Every structure is written in C-alpha cells, then in structure tokens.
Structure 1
Amino acid sequence: MESRIAQILTVSIALCLIAVHAQLLEGLLNVWRDGERQMTEEPPDAEFLENSYDFIIVGAGTAGCVIANRLTENPNWNVLLIEAGSHENFLMDIPMLANYLQFSDNNWKYMTQPSGNFCLGMENNRCHWPRGKVVGGSSVLNYMLYSRGHHEDFDRWSRFGNPGWSYEEILPYFKKVENFQIPEMFDPTYHGTDGYLSITYAPYHTKIASSLVQAGQEMGYKYVDYNGKEMVGISYSQASLRNGVRDSSSRAYLHPISKRKNLTVKKMTQVSRVLIDPTTKQAYGIECWIRGQRSPTIVRARKEVILSAGAIGSPQILMLSGVGPKNHLKQKGIPVIQNLRVGYNLMDHIACGGITFLVNESISLKTARMFSGASLHDYFIQHKGPISVPGGLEACSFHDTENPNDPNAYPNLELFYLGGSMVSDPTLHRNLKTLTTPMLIPI
C-alpha cells in the first residue's frame, strides 16, 4: 500500500514538474518570438551613407524618433537619423528591468560634478545622471511614467516670452501623441486615442499600492487624472506601456515606419560637430565617426541639421561646432563661430529619497519574489504580473504644500510610491550605491 502511494506521489510530482517546465518552455518561446519581432520591426542599420540628405537628425532618442517619423511623412524628403548607441532589444522593454538598465552600456554614464548644493548624501557629492545611448534614447532607460506637467507650467513659459507654448496651444499636440488606454479616465478634451504612444495603467498592482491609493482617498485626496483637468490628488501611475511592455519612442514612432524608403538610420555613429559656414552662420552638414572606421565621415544637409542629442549632448556638440561661450571655446582651441551662453542655466528636478515603511506580509516587489516561476509565467505568457510594473513605481500624488485644501492649486510636490525598498532590492541598492555610509545606516 505504501509502495502504491509512493508511486502515485512520484507520478504526481513528475506531472507537476512537466507542467511547470512546459509553462517555462512556452514562456521562453514567447521571449524568443518577442526578440525576433523586435529585430525585424526596428529600422535596420544602414550599411553605407549617401553624401547628402534633406534633413540630418542627430540623436535617435525620445525626440529624434518623433521628428524622423513626422519628417518622413513627406515622401519627397530624405532623412538621415544618426544614433551613437545600438538598437533597442526586447529585454530593455520588460518594465521591471528598468532598474538594471541604469548601469548598462546603453547609458552614457554621466556623473554630476562635486557641489556643495546637491548630492550631499552621495560619495564625493556626486550623483549618477542616466542618459540613453540607444535607439529610443532615455525613453528606453526611464521608468515609463507619463506626466505632462501642470497647465500653469506652460502658461508661465508663454508669459515669459515663448509664444506658442501656452497650455491651450500645446494641448492638441499632447492629444496627437496619445493612444490613451484608460477608459475610466478618458476625456476627449484632454486626451487622444489616435496617437503612436500607448498610455495606460500597469496591468498589475501590489496590495501596497492599492492600500496607499485607498488611504490617500480616505485622507481626502481626490483620485485624479493628473494629465487632465486637475492635477492635485492621488492616482495609479500612468505609463507608456503597450500590452505590458515598454512603449519607447523607438517602438512607438520608428517601428511603424521601418519600411519607409526615405528614412535612413545609422547606429553606432557619434557626431563630433555640426559643419557651419562661419560667414553665413548656416549649418550645411555634420562630421561623424562610424564605429570601426579610423577617419571621420562628412555628410551634408540640403535643408537642415536638427540637433536632438539630449540636454547634455546637444550643448556639447554645439560647443564643439564653435557655438558657445567665447572664452571657454578659446580655452579648448575651438574656433568661435558664435558667442552664445550655450550650456548655461541647466536645470533638473529637485528630488530626494523617501521614507521606508515595513509591512507584515510578503507583498513587496522584491527581486526574489518577482522572478519566481509563477511571475515569469504570468509575464512571458500574458505580459501581466509583478514584472509588468514600470520600475516598481506604482502610484503617485501631487500636492500644493502652500494650499493643501485647494484641488485647483498649482502643485509644488510630487510623491512616488515604490512597492519595494533599497534594503529589500539589490538592484535599487546598486543604483544608489554612491550613498555615503552615514546615509545608509538610518535606512
């Protein structure tokens, strides 16, 4: 009898193992298919370059991909899109892997200079400053959160002397971008559904996120569409996701047009300077270094050179081209074409790490739990589960600390809710490894 029971148990366990392996095999096949599809849908790397193009776009990042898409709508214009990095692959588009991308070769790996005004809790007062070095740019490295900003942000720009940048004037372009996929939040006054970029909630929320959102509402914070009429309140994070996968600028804007014959994409190619006529001050081409070649390549632009190399890269290329602060350029031995304060007044968000709360249940987004067999199956078969959460940032809220009870106020504080902690997740610890010891001890 005992032998018979043992046989039954053995067969049952074997069948369970076969079922598990079958699920994992199915998941691996889906991964392989995703990879194959990614490789075929992204525009190929050009084998050679023509001597000239109508437009040259420097940088295939978040904005560069959009510009390439729009310009090539005119079949009579030939467009060259140049990128210093390589292609985007399907692993980069798994939402929960955003943490791992910050120190990959798809990042320029910038670090801030030591200062007495910021990064004071970091080693040598320096912070990592991730910027994308890949087709899709920082939209491949970021945490996929989609937040436009408050109406007043844009209206202030307009009042400061930037015509065309008021909220009313740019709202049609926000709507044109979107394929908004949150039915309960949809308002055609503020959102569009015909755009290239998919905006939705993550297909999975932890109990922690649900509890936080509920607690915020119990405290009197309204559940809002922070990209709509009101911004002050609490919400699950809106994210650039499509079917549980990162919807980067490359996926959204380049993949659908990969067959356009008037688009040329050259990867692994770094632009060293824009060629500018010193007399007319007209840009007429670029100098670039193609990986593997020992001398630079010159490509001419029949109409325009468009710099889209990012907040760091574009000013750098301008200065290398002779456009920038005269004294600085002379110190570097660069002939001055135009004396301008290029590179000055750089600003970024003021941010700080948050407060860690302990919970009594094992429900946080911990790496060991996220990449269990069940979670892997949920994601690779259905693109759901914990791995579909964009970098772990599940919810957010906006507050006006000066007028906390005014729902129409102008928020000056944003809170992110992360379903894990630096202590519980080694990837987060690695991303913040420059924290000094006195900062880590309290955490």
Structure 2
Amino acid sequence: MTANITDELCKICDGRIECAPTAILLISLVHTLYGHIAAEPDYFGKSQGKTDELIKFRHKNPLENVEEEYDFVVIGGGTAGCVLASRLSENRKWKILLIEAGPEEPKIALIPGLTSEFKGSSLDWQYSMRPKKGFCQDRVETGCEVVQGRVLGGTTSINDMAYMRGSPADYDEWALNGNEGWSFSEVLPYFKYSEGNYDKDISKNKVYHSTQGPLDVGRYPYVDDNVDVLLSAFNELGYNYTDINGRNQLGFMRIQTMSYFGERVSAYTAFIDPIRKVRSNLNVITEALVTKIRFENIGEVVKAHSVVYMKNGTRVLVRVNKEVILSAGAINSPRLLMLSGIGPRDYLEYLGIKVHADLPVGGNFHDHLSVCLPVIKLTKTATTSKFPEKLKDITNYYTKGVGPLAANFQVVAFVESSISDVLGTPDIEIRFKGHDSNMYYDRLNICVSLLTPKSRGQVVLNATDPIFGKPLIYPNFLKDPTDEIKLLEGVQHAVRLFDTEVFKTAGFEFDPRPILNNECKNHEAVSTQFWSCIIKQFSMPLHNYVGTCKMGTVTDSKSVVDSSLGVYGISNLRVVDASIIPKITRGSTAAPVIMIAEKASDLIKTIWY
C-alpha cells in the first residue's frame, strides 16, 4: 500500500479506529450495518469432538437422543426445499419439518454487489472437483471450485441472482424422452405461479409472465456506463434485444434477476420468511446435518420411514408419516441417498453399506462449463473509486437502496453455434462481470459458457469418511470433443465485439496479458490452438450442477426417479431439486428448480389430499 493511500485512510480513521487497508475498512463497515457471516455450523456440540461422534456412528449405536414425528420431512432448506415447505404447509392439517445444514440467511447476503464474497465462506459447502488435466488448469493443484449454498435459501442466497428459465425446447425434450407432464406448455404455469415480475416492459407479456407470485423478478435499479456500452455493441453486431424468458431466447438483454429494487430475493425470503411465524404446522431447523434416511420392508415394498440428523451434538430420529422429500441439491442429494443404501450396488457393498435399491445415483453429473477471461481493459469508463466515494456508496445503499452495491452482472447474450442441436435455440451464453469486483473495476471479464454440454461426470462418496467427508466430484469436463468446439465458436463470437465502433469509441481495449502467464503464450496469437489452450486453462464450472438423480423412464438405465420424482423401488421417498434434471436447461438453473418444486408440491398434494 502506498504512502498516499495510507495517509488518505488515516485522515478518515480520525483516531477512533485502527488504520487498515481499504477493503478491510469497507467490509468492517458493511458488517456493522448488516451483520456478520456466521461461523461454520457445529453439528457435534462444543463439548464433543468430531472423532467421538464418528466412533458412535461407525459402531452403529442404535440409540437416538430425541424422537420426533412429522407428516413430511424436507431435507435441505435451499432453492427447492423452501418452496416445498412453504407450499405443503398451506395444508394446516399437515405437520412439516424443514431441515437445513447451514445457518439462517444473514442480511449481508441480500446485497447484490457482495455476491462474490460468499463463495468459499461458511455459507458455502466448500467442495471442490477432482484435479484433472484438460480443464481448470490454472487451478490444477486444488481442482475447480464448487459453489453450493449451505444456508437457509441455499444457492439462491449466494448466487448471481439471474432469473433464466431456459429454452422451451429443453422441457419438450424432457417430455419426448418419456417424462410425461414436463413439456414446456405443461411447466409454464408453474413458472408463472412463482413469478412476481415488477418490470413493466417484461410483465406486460401475460402469456409468459405473471405479477402475482411470491418470487420478485426484475432488473437492478443501478446501471453503470459499461452496461450501456455492452448492450449497444451487441446491437451493432446485429443481435436482437429479447426477453430470454419469453418466446425467443436468442439475442441479448439486461438480465432479469431474483431481486427487488436492489436487494436479493432468495427462495427463503420469497417463500419461507413471509409465512414462517404464522404457520404453526411448519418447523424450520437450521445447522442440522442429516446423516441417514431409514427404511423398512413391508412385504416386497421398501418404505422410507424416518430421518436421522445431528444438531449441537444431539442425534435426532424423525419418524415420517407420509413422505421424505430430499432437496439437498445435485451433490448432497446423491450423497445422502448412497449413505442410506440407494445407489450402485457394487460400490455401496464395497463401502459396507446395506443396499435397498440398486440405482445409478451420482451419475449423469453435468454443468455449464464457462471460460472467464479478464481481457477487456477500460480506459474511459472504469468504475474504480477512492475510499471516500466508496463510503458514500455504502451510505446511499443503506439509506436508499441505490448505487453500485445494488447490482451484479447485468448483460447477457444467447448465441446459436453452427453445430446447434436444435435449430433456433442457443447453445452459448456470453456474460460480463467486473474483474475482482462487482462494483469497482477497471477491467471486465468476458465469460463464455456452454449451455448444452454432452460430457458427463459423477459424484461418489468419500471412501475414507463416507458420512462426514466431502464427496468426490469427477466432472469430466470437455470429455466430449464437441463441447470444446462449441466453446471455441463462442469465444470467437465474443471477440467480435472488439471490432465494433461502440467498443472503440468507449475505449474498450483487448488486453490479453492477464491470460498469458502459462504455456498458451507459446502458440500463435489468437489462433485456434491458442484459444483451445486458453479454454483448458481458464475453464470453470458455472455452478449450475444437475443430473445426479436423473428423472427418466423405468427402461432408462441411467434414471433414478420417475416423472413424479419418486425414487424407483422405494415408497414414500421423493427427490425434488436440480439433481433430477435429465439434461441441463439453457441458462442458470435457479428458476427451473423453483418450477420443479412448484410442480412437485402439486403432485404431492394430489396424492395425499
């Protein structure tokens, strides 16, 4: 830190607080206003060590400290779990338990500009993918980062808030593959049932949008100069401005988000917070880790009858009268199923786990692979500010909800490659983010993402410590060669922006220096070989993990649940989250997962009413 910056900070400190780097002072101020991120959840109790608890589990101690009873137990208070618990509790005769492994949603998580601060925090499961050659090469020692919300609200409490439904073709393909009831015309009412769109330009289209749902959807109130430049550049290249959640997904737009006038709207704030204190039949438990689903054999039927969770060193057995609903996400749902004896028989028997159903749990793992490159250097429109201006921004956001903290990334484009699987649908997404900051930056990242990956990976238990160890995630990114071909074409689309007059007038310069600190510099500049090398270096997951409890027909050897989301071969057990998605949708998956939960709650009500 230079002497000048130090002097500037010390003048502001005025002796009441210690002089510190700008970032520390800003974070301290924000924490003072909005509260701190909670510490790591303590499932074992302060007086009891993890080793002792592991010994108890490994010796299969049958005694639980507490027993409870509910009609429905929803495991996972994330994106889908919050929706399900809210909708099922509408029937006041049913007793609902929602179990979340993470803490309550902190107020600081509601600030859009601080989104990147939550990755790797105690609000995140802090998983990583196995290091492999061919992708994520700049993270080869630690593996690709995995972002999954461990907080009430789940990933919707820490993600980028994008509201994207995907293409109608996505759902029609699900239906064509035998999943009855999941065509676009059949799921559109469930999208609309959740949506409370307050954007007048978008919500006037009543065919595709609704203003009545509990989930607020709209655009950020703050727009900086760079947003207008990017939108104008796509327009100059001939792309159409479109509503990506409407009839035609191809084109560009200023993104719709799950927010309300500069504040995040998570699944928790939309579906649970408004009703939590007024519905006595709904019990929400946080910082509680579910370790097992238990089954009983009634004749030839295997039935889910109870759930075991840990909280503050106490093991609790919950008996379930109607259904166990697993909504722990595309990584933790297959993990818990395998721990409970549902999964590949040979693998579970190798781990010494009793098998209740031999199913391909954990397979079909996939995500939107993304390549983020910090190559746009801003010469005229940088948003970097001095410390006093940043303090004013915090004050304005706290008092009025406006300014840089009220926004995240805003510009997105959907592009069709020359080898698109379905004519007229996109397979490439291009978005832009401030480098190292959503608010104050002098460089923009171009992020090119593959919307239709063909490569498939797998999630397996940690054989050393199946219960408490982090699951092993093998994504197999770029295993299918067409994935890299599409990404290469997407990068070429993005690079065309530098030829626009809009970029030149605004002083947007192509600066490759940040991406050349590797072997890619040995290739001919901007050749196919160069960009192929860059993709392998800078590829990373977009954190839209799906598929590990695939929905499919009984004849599909890769399917785990049926079209009603019931687990094959098991009674009273349903999976409702991103893991059931057979093939990923074209866009961020938060909106589709909420739709899945809405539809599932209707299916459940129909059966049990």
TM range (shorter): 0.7 to 0.9
* Inter-partner Cα distance in structure 1 for 2:174 and 2:100: 30
Structure 2 counterpart of 1:418, which letter? K
Aligned with residue 257 of structure 1, among 261, 268, 275? 275
Identity of aligned residues (%): 34
CA drift at 1:221: 1.2
Task: Indicate which of 127, 139, 148 corresponds to 2:156.
Answer: 139
2:584 corresponds in structure 1 to none
Partner of 2:338: 319
1: distance between equivalents of 2:134 and 2:349? 29
**Are 2:456 and 1:438 aligned?**
no
Q: How far, CA to CA, are the matches of 1:33 and 1:54 in structure 2?
A: 40
Distance 1:213 1:322, change over 3 A: same
Q: Distance in 2 between matches of 1:385 and 1:177?
A: 28
Aligned pairs for 1:36-435 within 5 A: 51-124=68-141, 126-186=143-203, 187-259=205-277, 260-279=279-298, 280-293=301-314, 296-364=315-383, 366=384, 372-390=390-408, 393-402=409-418, 409-420=424-435
Residue 106 of structure 1: SS of its match in structure 2? coil
1:29 is displaced (CA, Å) by 12
Q: Is the 8 A contact 1:86 1:106 kept in 2?
A: yes
What is the alpha-carbon distance in structure 2 between the residues aligned to residue 99 and residue 139 of structure 1? Answer: 13
Deviations 1:299-326 (A, max 9, x none): 1001000000110111011111111111
Determine the structure 1 residue equivalent to 2:10.
none
CA distance in 2: counterparts of 1:252 and 1:119, whole angstroms? 35
Q: CA deviation at 1:216?
A: 1.1
Distance 1:313 1:322, change over 3 A: same
Can you list the C-alpha shifts for 1:131-161, whole angstroms capped at 9, x where unaligned? 1111001111101011110110111111011
- Gap change, CA 1:371 and 1:304, over 3 Å in 2: farther
Per-residue CA shift, 1:275-301, capped at 9, x if unaligned?
1114521000101111233xx211100
**Residue 124 to residue 419, structure 1, CA distance change in 2 (3 Å):** closer
Query: Secondary structure, in 3 states, of the residue corresponding to 1:264?
Result: strand
- Unpaired runs of at least 5, structure 1: 1-27, 37-47, 430-434
Structure 2 residue identity aligned to 1:285 = S
Does the residue aligned with 1:277 lie in a helix, a strand or coil? strand
8 A contact 2:68–2:316 mirrored in 1: no
Distance, in Å, in 1 between the alignment partners of 2:388 and 2:80 is 32
C-alpha contact 1:30 1:380 (8 A) present in aligned 2? no
How far off its partner does 1:338 sit?
A: 1.1
Provide the C-alpha distance between the structure 2 equivalents of 1:420 and 1:345, rounded to a whole number of angstroms: 32
Distance in 2, Cα, partners of 1:82 & 1:411? 37
Greater CA drift, 213-222 or 151-160 = 213-222
Cα separation, partners in 2 of 1:241 and 1:102, compared to 1, 3 Å: same
Label 1:232 to 1:370 Cα distance change in 2 as closer, same or farther (>3 A).
Answer: farther
Q: Which segment is superposed worse, 118-127 or 231-240?
A: 118-127
| Distance in 2 separating the partners of 1:33 and 1:369 | 17
> Distance between the aligned counterparts of 1:202 and 1:370, measured in 2?
24
State the Cα distance separating 1:355 from its structure 2 match. 5.0
Give the drift of 1:379: 1.0
Q: State the SS of the aligned residue for 1:51.
A: strand
Instruction: Report the AA paired with residue 99 of structure 1.
Output: S
How far apart, CA to CA, are the structure 2 residues paired with 1:417 and 1:425?
12
Structure 2 Cα separation of the partners of residues 118 and 315 of structure 1: 24
Residue 586 of structure 2 is matched in structure 1 by none
Q: Distance in 1 between matches of 2:519 and 2:367?
A: 23
Q: Is the 8 A contact 1:403 1:409 kept in 2?
A: no
Q: Partner residue of 1:39?
A: none
Is the 8 Å Cα contact of residues 271 and 288 (structure 1) preserved in structure 2? yes
* Cα distance in 2 between the residues matched to 1:396 and 1:370: 32
Residue type of the partner of 1:247?
A: V
Give, in angstroms, the shift of residue 357 of structure 1. Answer: 1.1
Quick one: distance in 2 between partners of 1:412 and 1:244?
30
How far off is 1:49 after superposition? 7.4
Residues 34 and 195 of structure 1: CA distance in aligned 2, closer, same or farther (over 3 Å) = farther
Q: How much does 1:215 deviate?
A: 1.7
Q: Per-residue CA shift, 1:103-153, capped at 9, x if unaligned?
A: 111110010012234323322371001111110011111010111101101
Q: 1:164 Cα shift? A: 0.9
Q: Distance in 1 between matches of 2:258 and 2:163?
A: 6
SS at match of 1:147: coil
SS state at 1:97 partner? helix
> Residue type matched to 2:304 in 1?
A
Distance 1:30 1:313, change over 3 A: closer
In the alignment, the residues of structure 2 paired with residue 278 and residue 437 of structure 1 have an alpha-carbon distance, to the nearest angstrom, of 59
Contact 2:341 2:353 (C-alpha < 8 Å) held by counterparts: yes
Q: Which whole-Å deviations, capped at 9, do the CAs of 1:195-235 have from their partners, x for residues lacking one?
A: 11111111111101111101211221111110011111111
CA displacement 1:405-436 (0-9 Å, x = unmatched) = xxx8110110002244589869x99xxxxx99
What is the rounded CA distance, in whole Å, between the counterparts of 1:89 and 1:56 in structure 2? 24
Q: Is the 8 A contact 1:179 1:197 kept in 2?
A: yes
Instruction: Return the alpha-carbon distance in structure 2 between the equivalents of residues 367 and 305 of structure 1.
Output: 51
Q: Deviations over 1:361-403 (max 9, x none)?
A: 2533x4867971221122111111111112xx12100011228
| Distance in 2, Cα, partners of 1:374 & 1:313 | 41
The CA RMSD over aligned residues, in Å, is: 3.2
Say if 1:323 and 1:336, in contact at 8 Å, map to a contact too. yes
**AA partner of residue 349 (structure 2):** K
The answer to whether the Cα contact below 8 Å between 2:67 and 2:316 also exists between their aligned partners in 1 is: no
Alpha-carbon distance between aligned partners in 2 of 1:203 and 1:132, rounded to the nearest angstrom? 25
